[in-house]
Chain A
Amino acid sequence: MTMRRFLLPIGLFLALVCTLALGLKRDPQAPLPSPLVGKPVPAFQLTQLTDAQKQFGPQDLKGQVWLLNVWASWCVSCRQEHPLIQDLARKGTLPIVGLNYQDQREPGQRWLETHGNPYQFTAFDADGKVGMDLGVYGLPETFVIDKQGRIRYKHTGPVTAEVLKTKLLPLIKELQRG
């Protein structure tokens, strides 16, 4: 009888412990869900990194599934994913567009020469305005864009072989079929 008196407080206490434990286990650096997924990619028109006379805008790739990879020469973890992006480009799975974010032309171009250029186009976003419209908050970021020009997936942080195999490639295949 006396034990039952403690049941409620102890139960509540355990519930509190569980809530806090779950909160502690969550990764505070976990990528944020983007509100842009499912929405059309924001319209923009930028000059290309490799040629200031040429322009690029998302409408140039309308009707195709494409990948938008946000990078910068100052971004260390961009180097980590770069071989995978290049591999993807070599296989010709889909057009890959680079968005050179908050960078300068010179170092950006040099970076592509050093590490290889997998991009069909590289849009040069010097002031980061387009990056802001895309909700970019940590490089590298990768967007999958469908034939209708909608963002279907966003990956924050370096693309890994795992992410490519389990998330990006299946989605790309599905979108290309549809």
Chain B
Amino acid sequence: VAELGLRHPGTHRWKLAGAGALLTLSLTCIMAATPIPSAELDERTNRLASELRCLVCQNQTVADSQAELAVQLKREVRSQLAKGATDEQVRDFMVQRYGEFVLYRPTVNHSTWLLWGGPALLLLTGAGLFVSHWRARRLSGNSLDEADSGFDPHAQDQASSAERAQA
């Protein structure tokens, strides 16, 4: 926009005010005609590639790996982005061919809900256990002496240690 303003110092303001649609149109044309600067392309390629799993070296991302397939996939990502593909389209391209496994951050669906929900589920279970334990202790009377005079001096830590084990 700044460039456009500099190039047409007189008409820019008028365009904005009077013919917004025309400006949008011309901007779209300029954007479509101008190739994405290579620094930006590199940056996007890298960002996307670091979300993709290298399939021959499964604990590395495509960005990190020097495996032939990873290099090839990186090249494919770059060329698709250069042609104007969105990040989403590139991700879809990979998933269609290699499955959800290729994404380090898989989408939430019927086979991944446990993966995504697991930590929260564990936390909730832990919290639930903690609360019920704590309640039971409070209800089992204010006979604190009975509870604490047991030979286990860490009795009151039970609930929280269970919680820690969960985490």
Q: Taking beta carbons and an 8 Å cutoff, which residues of A are in contact with B? A: 2, 5, 8-9, 12-13, 16, 28, 32-36, 102, 128, 132-135, 137-138
Contacts and interface: CB of A to CB of B under 8 A. Distances in A.
A49 to B, nearest CB: 20
Nearest to A1: B150
A16 B165 contact: yes
Interface of B: 55-56, 58, 68-69, 72-73, 76, 95-101, 129, 150-152, 155, 158, 161-162, 165-166
Contacts of B95: 35
B55 A9 contact: no
Given A12-B166, A32-B55, A5 B158 contact: yes
Contacts of A12: 162, 165-166
10 contacts: A2-B151, A5-B152, A35-B96, A36-B96, A36-B97, A128-B72, A134-B97, A135-B98, A138-B55, A138-B56
Q: Is the interface of A mostly helix, strand, loop or mixed?
A: loop
A17 B58 CA distance: 24
A138 B151 CA distance: 61
A2 B97 contact: no
